Amino acid sequence: MGNILIVAELAEGKVRKGTLSAVTFARTAAAAIGGTFDILVIGQGAAGAAAGVTGFGAAKVLTAEISSCKGYVCEHFAPTVAEIAKGYSVVVATATGFGKDLIPRVAAKLDAGYAADISAVIPEGGALTYRRPMFAGNAYGIAKLTTPIQAVTVRQSEFTAAEPSGGSSPVETVAAQPPSAGADRIEFLSFDQVKSARPELTDARVIVSGGRGVKDKFESTLGPLADLMSAALGATRASCDAGFAPADLQVGQTGKIVAPDLYFAFGISGAIQHLAGMKGSKVIVAVNKDPEAPIFQVADYGLVGDLFTAVPELIAGIKAAR
Amino acid sequence: MKVLVPLKRVADPDNANKVKVTADGKKVETTGLEWKPNPFDEYAVETALRLTEDGTKPKTRAGEVVVVTFGPKECEITLRAMLATGADRAIRVEAEDDQLDGWLVARALKKLVEQEKPDLVLLGKQAVDGDTNQVGQILAELLGWPMATSAAMIKEDGEALLVGREVDGGVINLKVRLPAVVTVDLRIVAPASVYSKLTKADFKYNEGVRFAPLPAIMQAKKKPMAVLKLADLATDTALRIQYPRFEPPKGRAAGKKVKDVAELVDKLKNEAKVL
């Protein structure tokens, strides 16, 4: 078969860490089909960011500068990705907001089948099949794509970020293609960034998450524990909808999918949609007043009680135990 | 504004843990689960209604909302429910679920859009059974239209829409001129997320989707329901993705209850070794 093209995601002039999950996928997939992988760094400031991914074993790092728009607009990125991807068997990105927006549109340009948000790649007789969660993670489909070029996004929590492998991939500049039809009808206005000193949910080793039970006391109650544990804050849909926590913190089937070493669930009942986003966590701790809450069915350690007394005790206990 | 809303029925997502992979791994059984509209598509219908009305006079439609689904006759129940909430007419494309993939739905929708000529195609960002998130993007490319996915805010602004997309780390604000494809995210049905040019900026909707009163449910039975054949809309019916087999998830055993915080700290430190 052929080779694999990774589409890297940029933020603030650097390749985002999430891209390294797609590198992990590409190493396995390339070995299985006897090919190599290249990394395409695309966006504003692509050339400057390329150095961040030359040490991961790519045959080449390609850079494409997109100057026809500000920020990320799919119609300005997809034509260039698709043009380059024509020479590959698989085009892959990590299933972030960026990958999930861009890759299906690239697939459409290439008439490529698309396996979304996969949890594993399984080589079968020189071809690739893809394991992907469906029904909020309550069933897994083993998918086969029937097209010569295949489009894939990989779930960040299931593909551990690749470690550098040494060496230095050669960097090549590629020309940007003109934007898609219809691009003249779309304009990037602004990016309202949620600034936080804490780690990103998808990168964090520890997550301190709260549900409706936390009410509007997210920062005052859970913030100190998050800081003590160098953790990210997470939230349920209910608490985001109620405005108790920013939407960006939502963990769940259609929010962030996370798998940290340690996940604290405070005042979270454990709706199916929330469990779908966190049940891959290594250790789950649940504190809830309701002993029947479904969260206890997935928690390694459950404490029935009031989170507002448990959290300060936990902070004191952890400080004393260290 | 004329809005086309493609929607899908799904097995009750609040009981998704009851789906079963058959012993031979060939199928995912949803027997015993009620069919529900895909929540994101239901939000798309609500969004379409908000975009075609003055929020204070929701019975008068400024434009047209057309709902379409692919599936067997029983899917008409889902379409009727959407007609009852205010959609004007419905189209069912006769098909069996296992004849379809997202790509084929997008190809058929392209043909339908050429026939119906909507200003806007609004749909959920993903269906919560397949969890794929692709039809809107593929459709936009096939049509050569601009798209905005995962919209959490839409405001009509002259002949354009201001759209706020929820992405990692914040919100991307776009201005999109019609015709266009927009897929919606959860918070699109918050009280101040969607405004037509008729609705005053200080108007607040009720949270969530609107419910149909009984008289509207009766009237919905008289609203037009067209039935098309899949072959009328798509000549290439080959699937781009196939599922030769399915697997159940690995179960996660429930752990233990601890009696107090002191025991919890002890377990985290000495047993789980995560402190």
pLDDT more than 70, % of chain A: 100
Instruction: Report the residue of chain A nearest B137, measured CA to CA.
Output: A105
C-alpha distance from residue A248 to each of A115, A116, A160 (Å): 25, 21, 22
Instruction: Report the residue of chain A nearest B259, measured CA to CA.
Output: A303
Interface of B with A in 41-100 (CB under 8 A): none
Residue A242 contacts B where some CB pair is shorter than 8 Å: no
Maximum Cα interatomic distance, chain A, rounded to a whole number of Å: 62
Residue A60 has pLDDT above 60, yes or no: yes
| Cα-only R_g, chain B | 21
Contact between chains at B133 and A100 (C-beta distance less than 8 A): yes
Contact between chains at A301 and B146 (C-beta distance less than 8 A): no
Contact between chains at B249 and A192 (C-beta distance less than 8 A): no
Which residues of chain A lie closer than 8 angstroms to B175, CB-CB?
A: 186-187, 189
Tell me how far apart the alpha carbons of residues B158 and B180 are, in angstroms, rounded to a whole number: 14
Tell me how far apart the alpha carbons of residues A166 and B261 are, in angstroms, rounded to a whole number: 45
The single residue listed with the structure tokens 């469990």 is: A275
Tell me how far apart the alpha carbons of residues B157 and B177 are, in angstroms, rounded to a whole number: 9
Instruction: Report the residue of chain B nearest A296, measured CA to CA.
Output: B254
> Which segments of chain A belong to CATH 3.40.50.620?
4-185
Residue A178 has pLDDT above 60, yes or no: yes
Structure-block tokens of residue B245: 């087999």
Residue B240 contacts A where some CB pair is shorter than 8 Å: yes
Supply the pLDDT for residue B157. 96
Interface of A with B in 165-204 (CB under 8 A): 180-183, 185-194, 200, 202
Distance of CA A93 to the CA centre of its chain: 10
Instruction: Report the residue of chain B nearest A294, measured CA to CA.
Output: B254
Residue A114 contacts B where some CB pair is shorter than 8 Å: yes
Q: How high does pLDDT run on average in chain A?
A: 96
- β-pairing, B120-124 vs B2-6, is parallel
pLDDT band at A309 (very low <50, low <70, confident <90, very high): very high
**Span A72-112, pLDDT tens digits:** 999 999 999 999 999 999 999 999 999 999 999 999 999 99
Distance of CA A8 to the CA centre of its chain: 12
Q: How many helices (H) and strands (E) does chain A have?
A: 8, 18
Q: How far is A28 from chain B (nearest CA, A)?
A: 21
Q: How far is B271 from chain A (nearest CA, A)?
A: 11
Tell me how far apart the alpha carbons of residues B14 and B33 are, in angstroms, rounded to a whole number: 10
Query: Residues A184-203: what's their mean pLDDT?
Result: 93
pLDDT more than 90, % of chain A: 93
Supply the pLDDT for residue A201. 93
Residue A146 contacts B where some CB pair is shorter than 8 Å: yes
Which residues of chain B lie closer than 8 angstroms to A240, CB-CB?
A: 187
Nearest to A84 by CA among A214, A193, A172: A172
Supply the pLDDT for residue A16. 96
Residue B215 contacts A where some CB pair is shorter than 8 Å: no
Contact between chains at B265 and A133 (C-beta distance less than 8 A): no
Residue A14 has pLDDT above 80, yes or no: yes
Tell me how far apart the alpha carbons of residues A172 and B199 are, in angstroms, rounded to a whole number: 52
Which residues of chain A lie closer than 8 angstroms to B140, CB-CB?
A: 105, 108, 182
Residue of A109, A186, A290 to mutate for B, most B C-beta atoms under 10 A: A186
Q: Which of A101, A129, A317 sits opposite B149 (nearest CB)?
A: A101
B47 in Cβ contact with B161 (< 8 Å): no
Q: For residue B252, how many other CB atoms are within 10 A of its CB?
A: 15
Supply the pLDDT for residue A126. 82
Q: Can you name the residues that pair with A141 across neighbouring β-strands?
A: A132, B246
Contact between chains at A279 and B265 (C-beta distance less than 8 A): no
**Span B218-240, pLDDT tens digits:** 999 999 999 999 999 999 999 99
Nearest to A277 by CA among A116, A157, A161: A157
Supply the pLDDT for residue B251. 81
Q: How far is A154 from chain B (nearest CA, A)?
A: 12
Q: Which of B140, B177, B260 sits opposite A105 (nearest CB)?
A: B140
Residues belonging to chain B:
275
Residue B205: CA atoms inside 13 Å, Cβ hemisphere, count?
A: 26
Supply the pLDDT for residue B97. 87
**Span A282-297, pLDDT tens digits:** 999 999 999 999 999 9
The Cα angle at residue A72 between residues A66 and A76, in degrees rounded to 5: 50
Q: How far is A68 from chain B (nearest CA, A)?
A: 15
Residue A304 contacts B where some CB pair is shorter than 8 Å: yes
Residue B273 has pLDDT above 90, yes or no: yes
Which residues of chain B lie closer than 8 angstroms to A308, CB-CB?
A: none
**What's the CATH fold of domain A206-321?**
Rossmann fold (3.40.50)
Which residues of chain B lie closer than 8 angstroms to A288, CB-CB?
A: none
Supply the pLDDT for residue A1. 54
**Span B128-141, pLDDT tens digits:** 999 999 999 999 99
Nearest to B264 by CA among A285, A210, A263, A267: A285
The Cα angle at residue A206 between residues A203 and A207, in degrees rounded to 5: 90
A98 in Cβ contact with B127 (< 8 Å): no
Helix (H, G, I), strand (E, B) or coil at B18: helix
Instruction: Report the residue of chain B nearest A229, measured CA to CA.
Output: B275
Structure-block tokens of residue A111: 């008439």
Query: Residues B167-173: what's their mean pLDDT?
Result: 92
Q: Which of A137, A187, A301 sits opposite B267 (nearest CB)?
A: A301
Q: For residue B31, how many other CB atoms are within 10 A of its CB?
A: 8
Domains of chain B by start residue, with CATH: 2-271 (3.40.50.620)
Instruction: Report the residue of chain B nearest A180, measured CA to CA.
Output: B144
C-alpha distance from residue A274 to each of A107, A136, A216, A271, A277 (Å): 29, 9, 19, 5, 5
Which CATH superfamily includes the segment(s) A4-185? HUPs (3.40.50.620)
Residue B1 has pLDDT above 70, yes or no: yes
Instruction: Report the residue of chain B nearest A154, measured CA to CA.
Output: B132
pLDDT band at B254 (very low <50, low <70, confident <90, very high): confident
Residue B17 has pLDDT above 60, yes or no: yes
> Which segments of chain A belong to CATH 3.40.50.1220?
206-321
Residue A122 contacts B where some CB pair is shorter than 8 Å: no
Contact between chains at B129 and A135 (C-beta distance less than 8 A): yes
Query: Residues A191-205: what's their mean pLDDT?
Result: 91
Residue A196 has pLDDT above 90, yes or no: no
Supply the pLDDT for residue A194. 86
pLDDT band at B169 (very low <50, low <70, confident <90, very high): confident
Residue B176 contacts A where some CB pair is shorter than 8 Å: yes
Tell me how far apart the alpha carbons of residues A247 and A241 are, in angstroms, rounded to a whole number: 8
Q: How high does pLDDT run on average in chain B?
A: 96
